[in-house]
């Protein structure tokens, strides 16, 4: 599993991220509902009414009206309804809902950034441990070469036998360090697997050479400007302030009437009425023919029977209701509402200023940390190179009898420490670059580690 795959998998399995995502979807639904209440909606209706009865007087029997035993009616309608709240209250409530949605998204982004950071830190901690184990093996090999050299010199009578013992002690110490670091490497891999949420024996594609990504382009001022536009916490704070200001405007809603507008158009047709009317025409036609026959006139042809037209020309309707409400006695509700709205605006203004200051602080500190880590990395590379060469020369000098064994131990210890510093510096630089990318806000958890 690569770092990118580990971050993607962790984002889909982390319970905190899942909870934050659920909060975002819930708030997005609330915004959609509020939008449906704020703006007009258009609905289509298809309705069929069918009723049959026998020996039933109906609810209108008391006034002497007999309901038809068979009744059917079809309605096709497209309609809309728009409730324009007083003072645009619906628009204000929609702005507040959007602010809450932005805040929920900011919480989600913060949680995702934390997961990506933790996985990246754990991933390169494994890379650091692997590099340290490789360094331990190199040191153990070096100490083995010293033991061999000490034995040769002891047999030749050039050095005392105690050199062999001291070399073997250093060799045993290096072997012990290797065993401990191997266990630490396994612990780091299992800890990373636990962070990602995969089985503890999962294999990770840890690079043998820790990458050195480039710093983001631009000055601190330009990066700050980008952060102030892109960071989700800044966006959330601005949305919250906008919502608070819109809510404050809603205090004047009683100065405006509320309007309810309805409109619809469609077609309504009752086959029952057409059948009954056609039956009346048929009965009248039969009665008229009977009268004509009784006076000796020929009957009328059946084609003269009137035919009831099917369908209807359609209908439309529009309505407007205006309501003006002015509170007379409200026990201080209006006053306390205004005081609360003003306090919320002041609080959100302070929150926005603090978020801007925090973003600038994050960018500056992370940029400085990344530059420092980059400089320290170059020094660590030089230190490790010089330390390795010093240890190599010290071993040759000991073989030639120029220096004592203690000097070789000191040179090798310095070399190991320098190479350990180099490994730590490489990991620290990668972590600093990822932290800077997240602080600027232009990277999401996936793209922040795409080139690592």
For residues 239 and 268, membership in a common domain is answered with no
In a domain, 163, yes or no: yes
For residues 312 and 360, membership in a common domain is answered with no
Of 323, 341, 356, which residue constitutes the final position of a domain? 323
Q: Is the pLDDT of residue 248 over 70?
A: yes
For residues 181 and 225, membership in a common domain is answered with yes
What is the distance between the alpha carbons of residues 417 and 394, in angstroms, rounded to a whole number? Answer: 16
What is the distance between the alpha carbons of residues 427 and 190, in angstroms, rounded to a whole number? Answer: 19
State the DSSP code for 212: -
For residues 248 and 371, membership in a common domain is answered with yes
List Cβ<8 Å contacts ≥24 apart for 418-422. 418/380, 418/383, 418/384, 418/386, 418/387, 418/388, 419/135, 419/384, 419/387, 419/388, 420/132, 420/135, 421/380, 421/383, 421/384, 422/377, 422/380, 422/381, 422/383, 422/384
Residue with tokens 């601190």: 220
Closest among 14, 15, 113, 17 to 446, alpha carbons compared: 113
Question: What pLDDT is attached to residue 176?
Answer: 93
For residues 195 and 237, membership in a common domain is answered with yes
Mean pLDDT of the region 431-450 = 79
Of 276, 305, 323, which residue constitutes the final position of a domain? 323
Residue with the bigger pLDDT between 116 and 64: it is 116
For residues 236 and 91, membership in a common domain is answered with yes
Q: For residue 62, what are its two tokens? A: 């008391």
In a domain, 407, yes or no: yes
List Cβ<8 Å contacts ≥24 apart for 300-308. 305/281, 306/281, 307/278, 307/281, 308/274, 308/277, 308/278, 308/281
pLDDT tens per residue across span 87-116: 567 777 788 788 888 888 888 888 888 888
3-state class (DSSP) for residue 67: coil
Query: For the chain, what's the residue count?
Result: 452
Angle at 113 between CA 108 and CA 119, to 5 degrees: 125
For residues 239 and 339, membership in a common domain is answered with yes
For residues 363 and 239, membership in a common domain is answered with yes
Q: Which residues contact 253 (CB under 8 A, 6 or more apart)?
A: 85, 86, 87, 88, 89
Closest among 220, 209, 218, 210 to 369, alpha carbons compared: 220
In a domain, 328, yes or no: no
Q: For residue 318, what are its two tokens? A: 């529009």
For residues 158 and 208, membership in a common domain is answered with yes
Of 323, 341, 373, which residue constitutes the final position of a domain? 323
Number of domains, the chain: 2
Question: What pLDDT is attached to residue 364?
Answer: 92
Q: For residue 360, what are its two tokens? A: 């600038």
Q: Is the pLDDT of residue 29 over 90?
A: yes
Question: What pLDDT is attached to residue 356?
Answer: 92
3-state class (DSSP) for residue 216: coil
For residues 181 and 292, membership in a common domain is answered with no
pLDDT tens per residue across span 390-400: 988 988 888 88
What is the distance between the alpha carbons of residues 304 and 39, in angstroms, rounded to a whole number? Answer: 54
How crowded is residue 129: how many other Cβ atoms within 10 Å of its Cβ?
22
Mean pLDDT of the region 51-68 = 67
pLDDT tens per residue across span 192-233: 999 888 899 888 888 888 888 888 887 888 888 888 888 888
Angle at 90 between CA 85 and CA 95, to 5 degrees: 155
Residue with tokens 């998998």: 9
In a domain, 164, yes or no: yes
CA 35 to chain centre: 22
CA 87 to chain centre: 34
Burial 264-296 (b: 16+ CB within 10 A, else e): bebeeeeebebeeeeeeeeeebeeebeeeeeee
Q: Is the pLDDT of residue 361 over 90?
A: yes
Give me the half-sphere count of Cα atoms (radius 13 Å) on the Cβ side of residue 143. 25
In a domain, 376, yes or no: yes
Q: Do 197 and 9 form a contact (C-beta atoms < 8 A)?
A: yes
What is the distance between the alpha carbons of residues 153 and 401, in angstroms, rounded to a whole number? Answer: 9
Residue with the bigger pLDDT between 272 and 349: it is 349
In a domain, 157, yes or no: yes
Least confident of 46-55, 64-73, 418-427: 64-73
For residues 116 and 155, membership in a common domain is answered with yes
Q: Do 7 and 446 form a contact (C-beta atoms < 8 A)?
A: yes
> For a pLDDT cut of 90, what percent of the chain falls above it?
11
Residue 436 belongs to domain with CATH number? 1.20.1600.10
Q: Which residues contact 268 (CB under 8 A, 6 or more apart)?
A: 73, 74, 75, 76, 77, 312, 315
Q: Is the pLDDT of residue 133 over 70?
A: yes
What is the distance between the alpha carbons of residues 261 and 82, in angstroms, rounded to a whole number? Answer: 5
Mean pLDDT of the region 422-451 = 82
3-state class (DSSP) for residue 305: coil
Closest among 341, 349, 359, 101 to 236, alpha carbons compared: 101
For residues 276 and 222, membership in a common domain is answered with no
Question: What pLDDT is attached to residue 346?
Answer: 93
What is the distance between the alpha carbons of residues 271 and 276, in angstroms, rounded to a whole number? Answer: 9
Q: Containing domain of residue 152, as a range?
A: 3-39+87-257+333-449
Mean pLDDT of the region 34-59 = 79
Burial classification of residue 163, based on how many CB atoms lie within 10 Å of its CB (0-12 exposed, 13-18 middle, 19 or more buried): buried
């Amino acid at each position: 599993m690569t770092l990118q795959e580990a971050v993607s998998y962790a984002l889909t399995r982390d319970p905190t991220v899942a909870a934050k995502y659920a909060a975002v979807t819930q708030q997005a639904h609330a915004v959609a509902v509020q939008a449906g209440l704020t703006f007009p909606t258009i609905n289509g209706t298809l309705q069929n009414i069918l009723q049959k009865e026998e020996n039933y007087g109906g609810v209108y029997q008391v006034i002497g009206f007999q309901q038809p035993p068979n009744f059917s009616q079809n309605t096709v309608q497209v309609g809309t309804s728009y409730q324009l709240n007083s003072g645009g209250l619906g628009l204000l409530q929609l702005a507040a809902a959007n602010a809450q949605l932005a805040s929920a998204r900011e919480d989600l982004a913060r949680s995702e950034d934390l997961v990506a950071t933790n996985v990246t830190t754990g991933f390169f901690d494994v890379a650091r441990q692997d590099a340290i184990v490789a360094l331990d093996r190199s040191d153990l090999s070096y100490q083995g070469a010293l033991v061999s050299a000490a034995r040769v010199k002891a047999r030749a009578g050039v050095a005392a036998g105690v050199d062999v013992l001291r070399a073997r002690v250093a060799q045993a110490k290096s072997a012990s360090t290797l065993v401990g670091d191997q266990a630490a490497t396994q612990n780091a891999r299992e800890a990373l697997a636990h962070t990602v949420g995969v089985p503890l024996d999962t294999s990770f594609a840890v690079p043998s050479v820790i990458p050195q990504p480039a710093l983001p382009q631009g000055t601190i001022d330009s990066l700050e400007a980008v952060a102030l536009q892109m960071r989700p916490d800044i966006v959330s704070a601005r949305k919250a302030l906008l919502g608070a200001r819109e809510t404050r405007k809603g205090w004047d809603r009683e100065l405006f009437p509320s309007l309810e507008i309805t409109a619809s158009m469609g077609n309504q047709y009752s086959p029952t009425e057409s059948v009954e009317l056609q039956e009346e025409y048929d009965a009248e036609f039969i009665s008229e023919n009977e009268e004509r026959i009784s006076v000796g006139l020929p009957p009328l042809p059946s084609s003269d029977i009137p035919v009831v037209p099917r369908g209807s020309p359609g209908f439309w309707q529009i309505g407007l209701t205006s309501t003006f409400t002015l509170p007379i006695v409200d026990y201080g509700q209006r006053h306390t509402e205004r005081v609360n709205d003003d306090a919320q605006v002041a609080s959100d203004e302070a929150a926005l200023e603090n978020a801007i200051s925090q973003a600038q602080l994050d960018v500056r500190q992370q940029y400085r940390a990344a530059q420092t880590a980059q400089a320290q990395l170059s020094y660590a590379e030089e230190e490790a190179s010089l330390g390795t060469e010093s240890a190599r020369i010290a071993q040759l000098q000991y073989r030639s009898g120029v220096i004592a064994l203690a000097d070789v131990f000191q040179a090798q210890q310095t070399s190991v420490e320098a190479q350990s510093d180099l490994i730590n510096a490489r990991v620290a630089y990668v972590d600093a670059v990822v932290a800077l990318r997240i602080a600027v806000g232009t990277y999401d958890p996936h793209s922040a580690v795409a080139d690592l």
